[in-house]
Amino acid sequence: MGKKIAKLLSFVAWLTGTLVSLAVGFAMIGGSLTIPWFDSIGIGVVTIVAGWIVVLTTLISIVLSLLKQ
């Protein structure tokens, strides 16, 4: 019973991290979440690129974790 609960909690933590990563990535891409220092010097595109990097690496980690199962 203890291993099942530990496995469930591990999955919930993984799912939460994945959802948060995707939310942050898409918010950066959409412009609702920015990096103030970059935006103040006029290179806001760095935030968009960073958002895409977050989304792509999160999707890759989802695929890899599904293949591991």
CA 11 and chain centroid, separation: 16
Number of structural domains found in the chain: 1
3-class SS shares of the chain: helix, strand, coil, % to 5: 85, 0, 15
- Asked whether residue 36 carries a pLDDT value surpassing 90, the answer given is no
Residue 4 banded pLDDT, cuts 50, 70, 90: confident
**46 touches 38 (CB < 8 A):** yes
- The mean pLDDT of 56-69, rounded to a whole number, is 92
Which domain range does residue 36 map to? 2-68
pLDDT tens-digit series, residues 43-60: 778 888 889 999 999 999
